[in-house]
Structure 1
């Protein structure tokens, strides 16, 4: 038991180092005046997004007097997504709608949509956005200025998450907990090691020349976690990548319920651990129950252990622009959610079946 206690202390110590690094070296997209007027293609893959698309397009068209094109690729929606988008396109000529002619064999729907979007884009930069993103469009030229400053070929942002229900509050924050306690995000930009990569498909901004040369969505056409795969791929090609979080001008409501969050995170949670399920369960074990061997074998360190854990929770809540007290109270529920998601992920992977938007992600 003493050895488990030492491992638990070492684990939480490493988490503390990582979260402190993310706090000390936190990166942000600064406002630039005047903004750089570089042609940008905003590319939005959609499938049954009638509840979201109008909000996103309304956000984007507020960026006036800027060389912007907005292309929406409809992936065989069965709701009013196309009608709503076409209404916007009639009001603003910068908006273009492309309709799918069918999903080719061996492709996942979103990956195919992103690939088709890029083929029709003319901008010097390509910004892929999910339809459920809410954005202050002024961040777009500022993000390009950030890319130019650091000579990046890819920049991704984990949006500030909108948590409307108790189920979302008890689940969605786990994503940033894993991210910010496992990886100092500064390493995504300064390290050349491909494992030091992270990305979120909700906001991915590419240098168009690099994208068109490498065609990443074609390369990863059947990957359910194409965002992280693309970030690692770019780093393997010696291209520069950056990943940020906590940007207040980019927000997203990923899931509208606890059940939806379980299903959604089950698609990609194992990827955070290099695709190794065992590492995911070990991460959960020491995150949720690491205090137990310390309490039994090294009781004199128990108080210090919980103080360090509280600091970690406070910092990742702060960096995520979320309510700190809520995170402290709901941490046990976050651990229950993580365990459930890991089990579901193993089940889905074993059975090669997880339906997402009425399609199996295992093709």
Structure 2
């Protein structure tokens, strides 16, 4: 019991320290008003996105960067995605829509879509964004400035998350929670170690010359968590990569219901732990089982100490990611319960080979 409590408190303190580092270092994209003129290719893989894609295209038209092209790859959608994009493109000359082709063996759908988009792009920079995002002013200028300032081959942003339903609020905040108390984001750029890497596929800005040479999506064509794998490759090639928080300049509504959120996170969580069930279960045991053991001791001082660190961690993560701190504190137990459900669902789906996303086996 003493060993279990000691391990639990050690990791709570360690995760709290990482959170403090991220909170103090403030790894956010700095807003820059200086205008840049380099051609940016905005590349959008889209499959069954009829409820999202028009909002994204309109937001791109309204943002303040001037020299850009937009290419949408309709990945064999079974809804009206292609029709909506084609109609919008007829009145907006900077937008081009590509009709997708059958997915070759050995590829995941998104990676193949991105690979095809890059073949069509002409820009100095390739900006891959998801169809469920919304672009705001200052985003592209600020990102291009960051690319040039640090001579980056890849800049990735974790978007601000939009959550409109109770189910989303009990699941989606775990993305930033796990990120900001496990990894000091500044180290992705500062450390040369390729294993210290992560990224978010919702926003991936590449130096186009390097991309054309390295063909990043081709190198990770079968990977489910391709964003982090690409960042590892970038660093392994001794190139510069950086990961930041979006600072309100791009937002995303990842899922629209509890069921969709559980399914979506289940698709990725096991892959994040490199399909190592022991590592994932150990993480769950320490993060959730450990605090329960401390509570069972009925030792007020230990419980107060542990709860205080968890509370402060949730507040700092919420403020850093632009989320409601009060909601996340109150909903923390339910979010942790859902994390257990997602973890076991992720393992079960992988082992049973029933992991599907948008009608495709993953």
> TM-score scaled by structure 2?
0.96
Do the aligned residues in 2 keep the contact of 1:200 with 1:227 (CA within 8 Å)?
Answer: yes
In the alignment, is residue 348 of structure 1 matched against residue 311 of structure 2? Answer: no
Task: Specify whether residues 2 and 27 from structure 1 end up closer, same or farther in structure 2 by C-alpha distance, changes over 3 A only.
Answer: same
Q: Please report the RMSD computed on the Cα atoms of aligned residues, expressed in angstroms.
A: 1.5
Do the aligned residues in 1 keep the contact of 2:30 with 2:247 (CA within 8 Å)?
Answer: no
Deviations 1:283-309 (A, max 9, x none): 222222323443429653221111111
Partner of 2:257: 257
Measure the CA separation in 1 of the matches of 2:65 and 2:141.
12
> TM-score scaled by structure 1?
0.96
Measure the CA separation in 2 of the matches of 1:42 and 1:246.
17
SS in 2 for 1:221: coil
Task: Specify whether residues 274 and 101 from structure 1 end up closer, same or farther in structure 2 by C-alpha distance, changes over 3 A only.
Answer: closer
Deviations 1:321-361 (A, max 9, x none): 11111001110111111111110111111112211111101
Do the aligned residues in 2 keep the contact of 1:8 with 1:286 (CA within 8 Å)?
Answer: yes
C-alpha deviation, 1:97, in angstroms: 0.7
Partner of 2:168: 168
Measure the CA separation in 1 of the matches of 2:337 and 2:123.
44
Q: How does 1:174-323 map to 2 (within 5 A)?
A: 174-295=174-295, 296=297, 300-323=301-324
Do the aligned residues in 2 keep the contact of 1:5 with 1:297 (CA within 8 Å)?
Answer: no
SS in 2 for 1:27: coil
Deviations 1:18-63 (A, max 9, x none): 1011011112222323312111000000111111111000011124
Q: How does 1:1-363 map to 2 (within 5 A)?
A: 1-63=1-63, 66-295=66-295, 296=297, 300-361=301-362
C-alpha deviation, 1:270, in angstroms: 2.5
Do the aligned residues in 2 keep the contact of 1:157 with 1:247 (CA within 8 Å)?
Answer: no
Segments of 5+ residues of structure 2 without an aligned counterpart are none
SS in 2 for 1:267: helix
Task: Specify whether residues 65 and 245 from structure 1 end up closer, same or farther in structure 2 by C-alpha distance, changes over 3 A only.
Answer: closer
Do the aligned residues in 2 keep the contact of 1:281 with 1:339 (CA within 8 Å)?
Answer: no
Measure the CA separation in 1 of the matches of 2:189 and 2:271.
20
Task: Specify whether residues 323 and 18 from structure 1 end up closer, same or farther in structure 2 by C-alpha distance, changes over 3 A only.
Answer: same
Which range moves more in the overlay, 51-60 or 238-247? Answer: 238-247
Which range moves more in the overlay, 293-302 or 54-63? Answer: 293-302
Measure the CA separation in 2 of the matches of 1:300 and 1:27.
33
Measure the CA separation in 2 of the matches of 1:327 and 1:64.
33
Task: Specify whether residues 218 and 297 from structure 1 end up closer, same or farther in structure 2 by C-alpha distance, changes over 3 A only.
Answer: same
Do the aligned residues in 1 keep the contact of 2:129 with 2:202 (CA within 8 Å)?
Answer: yes
Do the aligned residues in 1 keep the contact of 2:225 with 2:272 (CA within 8 Å)?
Answer: no
Task: Specify whether residues 350 and 176 from structure 1 end up closer, same or farther in structure 2 by C-alpha distance, changes over 3 A only.
Answer: same
